[in-house]
């Protein structure tokens, strides 16, 4: 990384509310920090300073929030200011950030043994990846041969089962993780936990 590139980073940082950025290329990295305390009577954004550090990490680009571009971007998007390339080119890009999916964790209402079925000998009620309807039985917690069913609070896709079949569970222990969605065609972002 040359001094011109570092100057470009400092210039980009000065036009934002970001306090610090770090760029890594090969075994070198540069950190550009903005002094957030301006001297009395000074006008304009605080100056930026650069420091070098040796690293062994791979090249990384850090997205910077660009306030002016964020105001001009369509609703539901964020504007990012990419770091300049070594040849000096940089451009503002408005990117749509995916919304975090809404999820819910179904917990045990009693102490007992976890089962994926509602009654002894019944077929499993769900598995990771299944879409479940609101109120659908997900399984049961057995205590003294009494099966207490637990249901999906709303429609969604099972993205995690936290306990194995027959495992002892405590009151309030997480059992099943659901990603809420309206229709079976909507797929979850990623599965987690185990499908025990």
Nearest Cα to 29, choosing from 62, 59, 63, 5?
Answer: 59
Higher pLDDT, 34 or 58: 34
Summarised one tens digit per residue, pLDDT across range 169-190 is 999 999 999 998 876 654 555 5
Whether the CB-CB separation of 44 and 90 falls below 8 Å is answered with no
Q: Is residue 142 pLDDT above 90, yes or no?
A: yes
89-108 tens-digit pLDDT:
444 344 455 567 788 999 99
Is residue 84 a contact partner of residue 9, using CB atoms and an 8 Å limit? yes
- Separation CA 152–CA 75 (nearest Å): 32
Contact 154, 180 (CB under 8 A): yes
Structure token pair of residue 92: 């503002």
Could you tell me the pLDDT band of residue 114, with boundaries at 50, 70 and 90?
very high
Domains in the chain (CATH in brackets) are 3-95 (no CATH), 103-180 (2.40.50.100)
């Amino acid at each position: 990384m040359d001094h011109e590139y570092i100057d470009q980073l400092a210039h980009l940082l000065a036009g934002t509310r970001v306090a610090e950025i770090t760029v890594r290329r090969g075994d070198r990295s540069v950190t550009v920090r903005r002094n957030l305390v301006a001297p009395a009577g000074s006008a304009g954004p605080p100056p930026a300073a650069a420091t070098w550090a040796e690293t062994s990490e791979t090249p990384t680009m850090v997205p910077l929030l660009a306030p002016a571009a964020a105001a001009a971007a369509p609703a539901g998007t964020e504007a990012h200011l990419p770091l300049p390339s070594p040849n000096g080119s940089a451009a503002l890009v408005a990117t749509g950030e995916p919304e975090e999916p809404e999820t819910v964790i179904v917990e045990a209402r009693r102490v007992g043994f976890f089962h994926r079925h509602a009654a002894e000998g019944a077929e499993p009620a769900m598995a990771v990846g299944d879409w479940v309807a609101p109120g659908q039985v997900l399984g049961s917690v057995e205590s003294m041969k009494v099966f207490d069913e637990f249901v999906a609070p709303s429609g969604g896709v099972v993205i995690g089962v936290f306990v194995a079949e027959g495992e002892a569970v405590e009151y309030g222990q997480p059992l099943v993780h659901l990603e809420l969605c309206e229709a079976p065609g909507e797929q979850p972002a990623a599965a987690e936990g185990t499908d025990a």
